[in-house]
Amino acid sequence: MSSSDTEERVVPKDAPSERLDKTVARLFGISRGRAMEWIAEGRVRVDGKRAPKGAPASPGARISVDRPPPDQPEPQPDLPIRIVHADAHLIVADKPAGMPSHPLKPGEKGTAANALVGRFPELLQVGPSPREGGLVHRLDTDTSGLLLAARTASAHAMLRAQFSGRTVEKGYLALAAGEIHAGGEIALPLLHDPRDPRRMQAASDAAYAEEHGARPAVTRFEPVERRGGFTLLEVEIPTGVMHQIRAHLAFIGHPLAGDALYGGPDLSGLTRHFLHAARLAFAHPDGSRAGYESPLPAELASVLQELDADA
């Protein structure tokens, strides 16, 4: 069990003797349900000893609580993340590869949300989930590129509505195995692979997809250039399902370079899958049309150059 803050209270001399869970709720300003959770987790002690939720908490007893870490990102202003744009409504950041978008559990550090709330503390108050720190969407940990956060509740609601309505333009650069000579569209729903929960699976059978709750997903791609047995693609996704580009390209036999999870081949100098969120365009809360771009990171550009030399 981890804890971030220990507090102690004394049961007032004139207080009635009550069950421990009721006393903890009253003394520490939490719900009785939360008090019972803390007691079950071993976070509560009466005069230095653990006690069950139904134990009496007598006047004068010293009750200590190890409060769990807050369910929101801890500010880390020194984490490396480039701010592409910031105004009164929103922030566009360039997330490096290897950095998760936001914590998946209380106390987790090193994410884009930690970095952003460290620079823009008001993000902690935005959005339905405290741990997301105002983020409007997410990128896979090993996908680099543009990430959008809202600074106000109204901006968050407007931007989320655009993502849900599929009106946000999300452009990626992807290096796929094999030679692709024409653009195309992959419109296949995705579901968690029953054989490997880390992966997503494209479902080409409509009945199977419906039975297993697959989510609609559309991936459009255009070849930019072919090098050394690989094809650099411009990819657009109106939908936003987990691992969408990775799973769709693998389904058609062209997995991403470096994407071991989906069968992508290794490349010298490549330590992650070759996918970069390069372009983002949407209706800005101020009424304008906003668009932002991010160039290929140096490590991906270097991999491309090496391919060119070998071709």
* Beta-carbon contacts of residue 24 (< 8 Å; ≥ 6 apart): 30, 35, 38, 39, 44, 57, 63, 65
Active site residue 66: no
The tokens for 53 are: 């939720």
| φ, ψ dihedrals at 256, nearest 5° | -65, 145
Which residue is catalytic, options 66, 78, 87, 140? 140
What CA–CA distance (Å, rounded) separates 40 from 25?
A: 14
What CA–CA distance (Å, rounded) separates 239 from 242?
A: 10
What CA–CA distance (Å, rounded) separates 175 from 266?
A: 12
Angle ∠(56,57,58) on CA atoms, nearest 5: 105
Active site residues: 140
